[in-house]
């Protein structure tokens, strides 16, 4: 019996940012110094990569080649200067932000980060059996020491339960989890092996990203083994140990850097931020086209603003089954006229598409003969359960499949007037370990990277849309995804269950995604599966949902009812006003989308991300920051007429509705009755708004700003981006950059608004102040057209200037 000895490593080569270490048993490790704040470690027990390409790493890039990126590519990285020192059996590698110490016996790593010139210990491999050098099995392992008292863990994408992941264990796989329990179900729809570590004693943060598409597990302290002390660990069934350590001055900086690392978020069109109607029930009906047109009529009747509709898969049905790219002409006698009817009402259709062809699909034989499927060990299509039938998944690692898919998207949808694609049921639940894929000419087992199929499906759909309408920014939605999916799509938390519990924990799911680089997200408002929501639950869900980037009321209720904005007459008016509030705030959301795209800023965030110095913000709560300026205190329990909310220290706050001012660092109680959600605005901020009156099918835009000045002496400036909302013209300078400056003192306010770039049609802009704001404007202030109390706000009309501030 051979004895498995701990390998001894030595530095074998150093070339630019790449250091190569070789072990006494033939192992190889590569360390990449990529940025001052990013160092990568790759451990290869067999001295070679099992997965030589990545589909996650795209530093600052909007997309990758379909065949992926070479894992040794350094494109896009700064490759900064660094120092190395070997002493006492250890290799020290240091940048301005990271100090990595590698014990050459066993390759144990410890990490320190530099803040304000002071080095602090951040992470350390477990002292015992921290990685697998091929001794235990073929899986990939990485064990880290865990500080059971002071460490908190956040991220991992869309996960059930609390925001702090400490003490939980999570499956790294994707599954169709319809009706999931939002507090406990595992796994769900996304594969994001990235998380933040926050040490509340040291007050430092870092991120770890494991670049893998393999199924596996991340255990954040759920497991406890007496032989090893406290630890957390990552395990992958296949692939390589290839991870990135990301440092930052604070957690938000780490989130931004991780987002940058995995690719530039898609700048989706402005209409994708509007209300999107949807339900399974309409398209399941035998008179589906008629039911769909009734939806438009009801929107008009109730004056419900709507900009898109997610067309569920019933439009493809034959009998009670779904057949992607097939139009049921009994339900939809004239698909082109149907799509045109929606467009004439200003509503775009986003059609559901699925990557599995059922065995009796009209195109199944064609796809089989073209070898477009994932195949079993005998070279035949790998048959899987898909809804109530069996079928085969298309293999998107085959260029022929990608071309076939793009042509089908174009001829079956885009040429009919369908604007965008809803990439659904794309978890690729292949179980057979012998099933194989084309792999762009290098076949591998399908189970080794199911999430790759999902990513390539998105990319293929995006390419089809871009080729068909090259001057328009594409809009896509995907339910499943992996790290880097933000480059392609808007997403949501999947087929949730109708309950108060789901509402509460969907908030945390959205925050988990935003902390994992995926901010353009939302939820099925009202709940997708289960019972129909009661009026109170529906209203509370809408009050929360309008503050997420994706806002869609969607359902497949057990009793065949439909979640509609007008389903309960007693709250129809309230929901109408909430949809109009959403439209009023769209310029603010659009600027957040731009900042996410351009600067990697999360669009929604937990309070601790903006206020890490306030320990109260780390308590589990149901609050959420919307951008830098709004704090939403969602009501997530029935029968509440008020809501206590903690105001983070480090800022003052205004009640959004009353204008009352409060100091931060205290808990207050806000009313929670009627249609107005408990909402606060940060003092020293401005919010871009649309001040024009809005009606269904008659949407107009008039730029305005809500301003929340400092109570005492102080000043601030704010900038907001705008453009035509749909084209690429902004890349050629065809956009507006609004700038607002506010100077306040005890008795006066000075406000100036300027616009650079494309100028608005009017040179007058509206500024709204809290109703109790009675400080005077300087008597000699230029450009003031009017100053009056209107609809509960102090409304000031100013002449726009070219910004010289």
- Residue 167 CA, chain-centre distance (Å), reads 24
Q: Is the pLDDT of residue 599 over 50?
A: yes
**753 token code pair:** 């608004």
Q: What is the CATH number of domain 702-799?
A: 2.60.40.1180
Q: Are strands 661-662 and 630-633 parallel, antiparallel or unpaired?
A: unpaired
Q: Per-residue confidence at 3, pLDDT binned at 50, 70, 90?
A: low
Q: Is the pLDDT of residue 375 over 50?
A: yes
Q: Please, which residues bridge with residue 195 across strands?
A: 155, 208
d(CA 725, CA 690) in angstroms, rounded, equals 14
Closest CA to 519 of 749, 757, 258, 325: 258
Domains 10-157+193-211+239-262 and 702-799 share a fold: yes
Q: How far is CA 579 from CA 204, 242, 344, 459, 678, in A?
A: 40, 45, 20, 32, 16
Whether the CB-CB separation of 197 and 152 falls below 8 Å is answered with yes
Average pLDDT of every residue of the chain: 96
**574 token code pair:** 């309230």
Q: Is the pLDDT of residue 326 over 60?
A: yes
d(CA 515, CA 258) in angstroms, rounded, equals 9
- Of 9-13, 386-390, 522-526, the range with the lowest mean pLDDT is 386-390
pLDDT of residue 715: 95
Q: Is the dihedral of CA 610, 60, 719, 805 positive or negative?
A: positive
**705 token code pair:** 């700003």
3-state SS string for 162-228:
CCCCCCCEEEECCCCCCCECCCCCCCCCEECCEEEEEECCCCEEEEEEECCCCCEEEECCCCCECCC
Q: Are strands 275-278 and 169-172 parallel, antiparallel or unpaired?
A: unpaired
**387 token code pair:** 């809804």
3-state SS string for 85-109:
EEECCEEEEECCCEEEEEECECCEE
Q: Per-residue confidence at 170, pLDDT binned at 50, 70, 90?
A: very high
Q: Is the pLDDT of residue 5 over 90?
A: no
The stretch 259-277 carries a mean pLDDT of 98
Q: Is the pLDDT of residue 26 over 70?
A: yes
Q: What is the CATH number of domain 10-157+193-211+239-262?
A: 2.60.40.1760
- Of 134-138, 578-582, 698-702, 772-776, the range with the lowest mean pLDDT is 698-702
**HSE-up of 495 (CA within 13 Å, CB side)?**
17
pLDDT of residue 804: 53
d(CA 705, CA 717) in angstroms, rounded, equals 12
Q: Per-residue confidence at 155, pLDDT binned at 50, 70, 90?
A: very high
Q: Are strands 436-437 and 444-445 parallel, antiparallel or unpaired?
A: antiparallel
pLDDT of residue 780: 64
Q: Which residues make Cβ contacts (< 8 Å) with residue 731, sequence separation at least 6?
A: none
pLDDT of residue 4: 77
Q: Please, which residues bridge with residue 527 across strands?
A: none
d(CA 744, CA 143) in angstroms, rounded, equals 53
The stretch 342-366 carries a mean pLDDT of 98
Q: Are strands 204-210 and 194-199 parallel, antiparallel or unpaired?
A: antiparallel
- The DSSP string of 663-680 is -SSEEEEEE--TT---EE
d(CA 220, CA 506) in angstroms, rounded, equals 21
**358 token code pair:** 């059922």
User: Tens digit of pLDDT for each residue in 657-702?
Assistant: 999 999 999 999 999 998 999 999 999 999 999 999 999 988 789 9
The stretch 783-789 carries a mean pLDDT of 90
d(CA 260, CA 601) in angstroms, rounded, equals 10
User: Tens digit of pLDDT for each residue in 98-124?
Assistant: 999 999 999 999 999 998 889 999 999
**668 token code pair:** 């207050």
Cβ neighbours around 407 below 10 Å, total: 12
d(CA 537, CA 551) in angstroms, rounded, equals 16
Whether the CB-CB separation of 482 and 514 falls below 8 Å is answered with no
The stretch 198-221 carries a mean pLDDT of 97
pLDDT of residue 1: 46
Q: Is the peptide bond before 187 cis (omega within 30 degrees of 0)?
A: yes
Whether the CB-CB separation of 751 and 715 falls below 8 Å is answered with no
Q: Which residue has the tokens 């999430």?
A: 451
**220 token code pair:** 């954040």
**72 token code pair:** 């040794």
Whether the CB-CB separation of 218 and 172 falls below 8 Å is answered with yes
The stretch 346-354 carries a mean pLDDT of 98
**262 token code pair:** 């995995």
d(CA 505, CA 497) in angstroms, rounded, equals 11
Whether the CB-CB separation of 658 and 676 falls below 8 Å is answered with no
* Phi, psi for residue 637 in degrees, rounded to 5: -130, 145
pLDDT of residue 63: 92
d(CA 90, CA 103) in angstroms, rounded, equals 4
17: enclosing H helix or E strand: none
User: Tens digit of pLDDT for each residue in 423-479?
Assistant: 999 999 999 999 999 999 999 999 999 999 999 999 999 999 999 999 999 999 999
pLDDT of residue 674: 87
Q: What are the sequence ranges of the domains in the chain?
A: 10-157+193-211+239-262, 702-799
The stretch 625-642 carries a mean pLDDT of 97
Q: Is the pLDDT of residue 646 over 60?
A: yes
Label residues 185-212 b or e (16+ Cβ within 10 Å = b): bbbbbbbbbbbbbbbeeeebbbbbbbbb
pLDDT of residue 388: 85
């Amino acid at each position: 019996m051979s004895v498995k000895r701990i390998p001894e490593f030595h530095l074998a080569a150093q070339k630019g940012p790449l250091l190569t270490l070789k072990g006494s048993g033939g192992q190889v490790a590569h360390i990449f110094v990529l940025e001052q704040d990013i160092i990568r470690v790759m451990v290869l027990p067999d001295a070679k990569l099992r997965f030589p390409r990545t589909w996650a790493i795209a530093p600052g890039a909007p997309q990758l080649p379909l065949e992926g990126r070479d894992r040794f590519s350094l494109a896009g990285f700064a490759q900064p200067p660094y120092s190395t020192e070997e002493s006492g059996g250890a290799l020290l590698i240091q940048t301005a932000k990271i100090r990595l110490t590698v014990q050459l016996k066993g390759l144990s790593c410890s990490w320190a980060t530099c803040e304000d010139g002071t080095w602090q210990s951040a992470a350390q491999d477990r002292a015992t059996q921290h990685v697998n050098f091929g001794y235990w099995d073929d899986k990939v392992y990485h064990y880290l020491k865990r500080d059971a008292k002071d460490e908190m863990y956040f991220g991992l994408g869309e996960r059930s339960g609390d925001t702090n992941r400490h003490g939980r264990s999570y499956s790294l796989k994707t599954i169709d989890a319809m009706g999931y329990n939002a507090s406990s179900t595992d796994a769900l729809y996304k594969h994001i092996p990235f998380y933040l570590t926050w040490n509340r004693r040291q007050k430092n943060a870092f991120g770890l990203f494991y670049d893998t598409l393999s199924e596996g597990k991340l255990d954040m302290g759920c497991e406890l083994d007496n032989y090893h002390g406290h630890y957390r660990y990552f395990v992958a069934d296949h692939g390589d140990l290839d991870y990135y350590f990301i440092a930052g001055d604070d957690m938000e900086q780490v989130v931004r850097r991780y987002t940058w690392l995995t690719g530039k978020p898609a700048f989706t069109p402005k209409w994708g931020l509007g209300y999107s109607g949807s339900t399974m029930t309409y398209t399941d009906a035998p008179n589906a086209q008629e039911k769909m047109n009734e939806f438009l009529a009801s929107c008009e009747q109730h004056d419900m603003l709507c900009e898109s509709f997610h067309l569920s898969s019933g439009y493809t049905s034959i009998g009670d089954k779904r057949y992607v790219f097939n139009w049921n002409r009994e339900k939809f006698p004239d698909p082109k006229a149907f799509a045109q009817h929606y467009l004439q009402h200003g509503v775009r259709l986003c059609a559901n598409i699925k990557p599995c062809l059922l065995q009796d699909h009209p195109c199944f034989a064609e796809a089989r003969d073209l070898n477009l499927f994932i195949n079993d060990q005998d070279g035949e299509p790998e048959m899987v359960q898909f809804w109530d039938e069996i079928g085969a998944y298309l293999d998107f690692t085959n260029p022929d499949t990608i071309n076939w898919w793009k042509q089908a998207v174009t001829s079956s949808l885009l040429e009919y007037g369908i604007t965008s694609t809803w990439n659904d049921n794309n978890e690729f639940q292949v179980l057979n370990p012998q099933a194989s894929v084309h792999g762009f000419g290098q076949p591998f087992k399908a189970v080794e990277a199911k999430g790759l199929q999902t990513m390539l499906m998105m990319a293929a759909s995006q390419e089809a849309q871009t080729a068909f309408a090259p001057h328009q920014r594409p809009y896509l939605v995907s339910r499943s995804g992996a790290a880097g999916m933000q480059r392609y799509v808007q997403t949501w938390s999947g087929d949730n269950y109708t309950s108060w519990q789901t509402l509460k924990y969907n908030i945390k799911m959205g925050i988990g995604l935003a902390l994992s680089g995926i901010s353009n997200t939302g939820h099925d408002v009202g709940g997708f599966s289960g019972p129909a929501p009661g009026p109170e639950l529906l209203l509370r869900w809408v009050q929360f949902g309008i503050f997420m980037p994706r806002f869609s009321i969607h359902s497949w209720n057990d009793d065949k009812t439909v979640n509609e904005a007008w389903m309960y007459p007693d709250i129809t008016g309230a929901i109408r006003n909430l949809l109009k509030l959403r439209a009023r705030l769209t310029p603010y959301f659009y600027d957040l989308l731009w900042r996410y795209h351009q600067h990697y800023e999360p669009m929604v965030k937990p309070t601790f991300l903006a206020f890490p110095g306030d320990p109260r913000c780390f308590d589990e709560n149901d609050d959420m920051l919307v951008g830098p300026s709004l704090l939403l205190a969602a009501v997530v329990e029935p029968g509440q007429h008020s809501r206590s909310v903690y105001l983070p220290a480090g800022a003052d706050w205004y009640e959004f509705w009353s204008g009352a001012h409060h100091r931060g660092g205290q808990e207050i109680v806000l009313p929670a009755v009627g249609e107005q959600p408990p909402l606060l605005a940060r003092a020293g901020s401005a919010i871009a708004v649309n001040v024009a009156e809005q009606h269904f099918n008659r949407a107009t835009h008039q730029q305005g700003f809500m301003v929340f000045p400092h109570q005492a002496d102080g000043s601030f400036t704010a900038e907001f981006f705008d453009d035509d909302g749909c084209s690429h013209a902004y890349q050629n300078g065809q956009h507006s950059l609004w700038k607002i400056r506010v100077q306040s003192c005890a008795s006066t306010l000075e406000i100036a608004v300027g616009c650079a770039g494309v100028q608005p049609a009017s040179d007058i802009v509206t500024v709204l102040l809290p109703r109790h704001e009675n400080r005077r404007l300087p008597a000699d202030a230029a450009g003031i057209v009017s100053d009056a109390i209107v609809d509960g706000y102090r409304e000031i009309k100013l002449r726009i200037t070219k910004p010289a501030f």
